[in-house]
Structure 1
């Protein structure tokens, strides 16, 4: 993959796109091996560093800041998360991970995408008790 456009083309052919804007694609990630048909919203953002290096930021919400015990949440991420970290974006606690697009191979995108989605889904279940995102 060489550019944001290439990544968006791949994502549109592989996932259910919920919303698309020039530097953002929102998808519904479905866990194929899940017995209870769980899904997770994942947002892909195009970021440009130093005005020249394209990156993709993979973001998945876990719940509202007001609904999550942040210390326990961050401790859980510190003990169990392989890819991604936690952030607050607006009113939401999210799991996110960023990757450079230059020379990005598809498995270098797919694996972190799956990990971010699964981590956010598990944390949402544990700390919010539902599957709203």
Structure 2
């Protein structure tokens, strides 16, 4: 997989699409068994970014809380101790777990594994720090 269009085609085939725009696609992942009344979901934004006007990258971004809902030092401490991929950023009023990858020569597992890890970690953070399932 080496182009944005290839990645989007794969995402459309494999995931539940929430919104589809030229340089951004939003998907929803589900956690727990389908028959589980407590099944959680996590929204993730996969966006195309162009680095230095020449290199295509993808960004995986999962909001998990509003800044005013959490103790930022506790969140950063938790992420520093437990999270392998991604980093916390503030996007508007939202705390977002975000990870970026170069698109050139990207293999499918190099996308799927970070996608699963970032969304799973964001869902865990959301549950841990807000006790909710808003995203």
1:17 aligns with 2:24: no
User: Aligned match of 1:108 in 107, 110, 120?
Assistant: 110
In the TM superposition, what whole-angstrom CA distance separates every residue of 1:76-117 from its partner, at most 9, and x where no partner exists?
Answer: 000000111100001100101000010000000000000000
The equivalent of 2:8 in structure 1 is 8
Matched, 1:39 2:41: yes
Give every structure 1 segment of 4 or more consecutive aligned residues whose post-TM-superposition deviation is greater than 2 Å: 31-36
After the TM superposition, which residues 1-133 of structure 1 pair with which residues of structure 2 at under 5 Å, given as runs? 1-31=1-31, 35=36, 36-133=38-135
Q: In structure 2, how many angstroms separate the alpha carbons of the residues matched to 1:84 and 1:51? A: 23
For 1:109 and 1:49, the matched residues in 2 are separated by 18
Q: TM-score, normalised by structure 1?
A: 0.96
Q: Structure 2 unaligned runs (5+)?
A: none
**Mapped partners of 1:103, 1:61: distance in 2:** 27
Unaligned ranges ≥5, structure 1: none
Q: How high is the TM-score relative to the length of structure 2?
A: 0.94
Return the offset for 1:31. 2.4
Give aligned pairs, total.
133
1:57-91: CA deviations, max 9, x gaps? 00001111111110000000000001111000011
The offset of 1:33, in angstroms, is 5.6
Return the alpha-carbon distance in structure 1 between the equivalents of residues 32 and 110 of structure 2. Answer: 19
